[in-house]
């Protein structure tokens, strides 16, 4: 990806997207176009594009029209949210950066700018990656004597007036990633997270698009603030028709104070454009799959013991469970909460990362050895950033708790936060985890984070500590992975409350939600999957009735939902009937058969006109195979629900479509009549499947139809 040779306009193109960036001195860069590829443009055409994009001043504005740069400045007439907020003891409250030099890189530019009056320098990086994903971040340097306090640094991606609708997300524990839509109006729509972690109510993406945009329709622009601490993302539109999507870290008062020669680097603000939400989503998937630590081997089926035994750890019971897991094809056994000293309930023990001798007199070795003898990997639950007040650690080092001097924050889930910004606390956790991983050759850590950072002060300095805590958590994860090659870490945070692109640079999987109810998980996974590809999204088959909701759901519904993620089992299967265990083994086998596709293909979400029918799938990059799932999420006013169109297939090829056998067995008892193609499957050209569709059975609510799609030839004829 190379810029044009123009000295003042940079033109980047990748995968149907382009960014036209005006880096003409002296002002900071401004994005003239971010969106659909404009094709080959000459230097003269780029300059003309810049000229025709510049607006004229209107009544009651500065005589020179305000300029919107990627770090918006009030000194250029911008009266919206400023890109940089800060001061020197009340002075230098606004900046006027001037570009000193610009360096081209393989995927973008790095611009160095200075404000001599404020004593600041700025290194601003703007990139368009090969997958068509844009991103920006900035490093601010204090170049003058004295302290400069940073109150906020946000970077902005402009969007056109054609973006009339906003889609963002909210939620709470066990119901993460709930969508909400509204009009993109004048003013500022801000989504800020002050949980000290990403948050269950965080907007995974902030999307703006054409009226009524859907998964496969309409132009869509979206941004994501890649940060696991406090953060902000906003959509802003002025009366001058200028609109931006912007983001950055949300800094607490006095949290970033730069002394002379010190610097602060903002999070990456990612930007994705496409026609339809799926196109926006696919860029994030391709970006994550291209990372050096992305999975290169099949993801192991995980068996987690939490909902099977909770805190009731017993070697015989757990080895029996391990035997049952291995018998149905599980490839990794995870020992969850309850293995360390004093941990018989959730009110004690956090921080005392030693195996409880009262429960495990020989350590974990008997269980670990048994698990490995069955051919499974071994994983362990930890919550390294937290501490119970009823623990040896808290009694020995109360000064290690993240709290303002003189008071304790309110407890949440009977715990406080261990201040990893304290070097001694960080070193203690590092040493204990190093010792555990080394002794037991642990393959996988389920890394939990079960409370918000409320009143998050550093007792020694009296300053806010969310930024330092976030950086320290990343550093701890990086240390463990570097010291123990092959170690995988799952980001769990009361379920899905730490789900962002930056934590995925340090971990290998997201636990999407503590709610394992498959009906609820359809929505949670549908929208978590906009950012997170299936192989990085933990999805487990759990018990009936569900432990969180009490809902009764068939094994087919629970399994078909989980198989479109990184599948696991969270269920005491030792006492279930033999037929249920055999059916479960069939679903695990089907997942293994298809996981190569599920964890590499393009995710497709179907825009069915019937709102009760949710359908999605994964299509191989070569369009040879696909796996789709359709579920009636509620009873319908229509029976049958009408033609189902597939999408993402090759219009010129012929495909066989047939239900998975395990899915067929689950549907047949509930559908005494079915479409004519049902007994033997159907064969049709891709253009017929995509543009016309086919009748599906009259599905009862929460009964999934899983369809295998296989190309027969390349001639496009029967």
How far, in Å, CA of 139 to CA of 125, rounded? Answer: 9
Q: Is-contact 586 556, C-beta < 8 A?
A: no
Q: Check 115, 168, 448, 517 and give the catalytic one.
A: 448
How far, in Å, CA of 259 to CA of 254, rounded? Answer: 12
Residue 448 designated active-site: yes
Position 65 scores a pLDDT of 87
Looking at the DSSP bridge assignments, the partners of residue 243 are 159, 237
The pair of structure tokens assigned to 218 is 């309409």
Looking at the DSSP bridge assignments, the partners of residue 244 are 158, 236
- R_g (Cα) of the chain, nearest Å: 27
Position 7 scores a pLDDT of 56
The pair of structure tokens assigned to 429 is 């956790």
- Is this prediction's pTM over 0.95? yes
Q: Is-contact 230 196, C-beta < 8 A?
A: yes
Residue 698 designated active-site: no
Looking at the DSSP bridge assignments, the partners of residue 695 are 643
Position 534 scores a pLDDT of 98
Q: Encode 635-644: b = buried (16+ Cβ within 10 Å), e = exposed.
A: ebeeebbeeb
The single residue listed with the structure tokens 């994009």 is 53
Indicate the DSSP class of residue 400: G
Q: Which structural domains are found in the chain, ordered by start? A: 9-289 (2.70.98.60), 305-388+423-448+479-598 (3.20.20.70), 603-713 (2.60.40.1180)
Position 155 scores a pLDDT of 98
Position 717 scores a pLDDT of 45
Angle at 493 between CA 544 and CA 488, to 5 degrees: 90
Q: Is-contact 203 244, C-beta < 8 A?
A: no
Q: Check 168, 514, 586, 602 and give the catalytic one.
A: 514
pLDDT along the chain (718 residues), means of 10: 62 98 96 98 95 91 91 96 97 97 96 98 98 98 98 98 98 98 98 98 98 98 98 97 97 98 98 98 98 96 98 98 98 98 97 98 98 98 98 98 95 98 98 98 98 96 96 98 98 97 98 98 98 98 98 98 98 97 98 98 95 96 98 89 95 97 91 90 97 95 97 62
Indicate the DSSP class of residue 607: -
Distances from the Cα of 331 to the Cαs of 16, 89, 328, 377, 634, in angstroms? Answer: 40, 58, 9, 6, 34
Position 716 scores a pLDDT of 43
């Amino acid at each position: 990806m190379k810029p044009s040779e123009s000295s003042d306009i940079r033109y980047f193109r990748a995968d149907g997207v382009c960014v036209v960036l005006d880096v003409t001195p002296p002002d900071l860069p401004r994005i003239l176009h971010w969106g659909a590829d404009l094709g080959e443009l000459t230097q003269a055409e780029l300059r003309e594009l810049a000229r025709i994009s510049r607006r004229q001043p209107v009544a009651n504005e500065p005589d020179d029209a305000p300029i919107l740069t990627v770090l918006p400045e009030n000194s250029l007439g911008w009266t919206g949210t400023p890109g940089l907020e800060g001061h020197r003891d009340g002075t230098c409250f606004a900046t006027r950066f001037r570009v000193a030099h610009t360096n081209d890189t393989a995927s973008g530019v790095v611009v160095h700018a200075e404000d001599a009056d404020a004593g600041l320098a700025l290194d601003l990086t703007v990139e368009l990656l090969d997958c068509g994903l844009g991103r920006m971040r900035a490093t601010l340097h204090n170049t003058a004597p004295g302290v400069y306090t940073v109150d906020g640094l946000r970077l902005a991606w402009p969007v056109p007036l054609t973006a009339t609708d906003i889609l963002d997300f909210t939620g709470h524990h066990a119901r993460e990633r709930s969508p909400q839509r509204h009009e993109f109006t004048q003013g500022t729509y801000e989504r800020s997270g002050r949980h000290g972690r990403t948050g269950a109510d965080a907007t995974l993406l902030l999307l703006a698009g054409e009226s009524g945009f859907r998964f496969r329709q309409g132009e869509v622009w979206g941004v994501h603030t890649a940060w696991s601490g406090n953060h902000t993302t906003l959509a802003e539109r002025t009366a001058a028709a200028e609109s931006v999507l912007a983001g950055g870290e949300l800094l607490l008062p006095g949290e970033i104070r730069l002394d002379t020669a010190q610097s602060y680097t903002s999070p990456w603000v990612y930007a994705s454009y496409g026609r339809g939400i799926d196109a926006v989503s696919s860029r994030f998937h391709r970006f994550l799959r291209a990372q050096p630590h992305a999975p290169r081997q099949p993801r192991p089926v995980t068996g987690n013991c939490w909902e099977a035994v909770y805190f009731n750890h017993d070697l015989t019971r757990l080895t029996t469970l391990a035997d049952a897991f291995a018998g149905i094809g599980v490839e990794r056994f995870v020992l969850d909460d309850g293995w360390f000293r004093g941990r018989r309930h959730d009110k004690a023990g956090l921080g005392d990362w030693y195996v409880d001798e009262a429960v495990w007199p020989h350590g974990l070795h008997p269980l670990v050895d048994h698990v490995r003898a069955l051919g499974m990997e071994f994983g362990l639950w930890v919550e390294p950033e937290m501490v119970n007040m009823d623990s040896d650690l808290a009694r020995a080092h109360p000064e290690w708790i993240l709290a303002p001097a003189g008071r304790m924050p309110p407890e949440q889930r009977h715990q406080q936060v261990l201040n990893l910004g304290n070097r001694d606390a960080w070193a203690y956790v590092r040493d204990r985890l190093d010792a555990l991983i080394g002794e037991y050759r642990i393959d996988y850590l389920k890394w939990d984070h079960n409370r918000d950072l409320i009143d998050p002060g550093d007792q020694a300095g009296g300053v806010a500590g969310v930024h330092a805590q976030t950086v320290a958590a990343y550093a701890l994860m990086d240390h463990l992975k570097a010291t123990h090659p092959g170690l995988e870490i799952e980001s769990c945070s009361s379920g899905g409350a730490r789900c962002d692109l930056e934590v995925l640079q340090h971990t290998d999987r997201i636990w999407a939600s503590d709610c394992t109810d498959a009906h609820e998980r359809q929505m949670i996974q549908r929208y978590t999957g906009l950012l997170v590809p299936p192989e990085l999204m933990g999805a487990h088959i759990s018990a009936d009735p569900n432990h969180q909701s009490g809902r009764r759901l068939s094994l087919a519904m629970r399994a078909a939902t989980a198989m479109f993620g990184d599948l696991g089992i969270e269920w005491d299967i030792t006492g279930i009937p033999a037929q249920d265990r055999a059916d479960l083994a069939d679903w695990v086998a089907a997942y293994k058969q298809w996981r190569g596709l599920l964890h590499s293909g393009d995710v497709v979400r179907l825009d069915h006109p019937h709102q009760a029918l949710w359908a999605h799938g994964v299509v191989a990059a070569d369009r040879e195979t696909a796996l789709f799932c359709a579920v009636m999420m509620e009873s319908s006013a229509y029976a049958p629900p009408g033609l189902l169109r597939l999408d993402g297939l090759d219009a010129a090829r012929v495909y066989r479509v047939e239900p998975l056998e395990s899915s067929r067995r689950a549907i047949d008892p509930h559908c005494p009549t079915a479409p004519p193609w049902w007994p033997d499957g159907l064969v049709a050209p891709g253009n017929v499947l995509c543009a016309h569709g086919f009748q599906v059975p009259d599905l009862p609510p929460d009964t999934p139809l899983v369809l295998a799609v296989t190309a027969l030839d390349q001639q496009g004829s029967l």
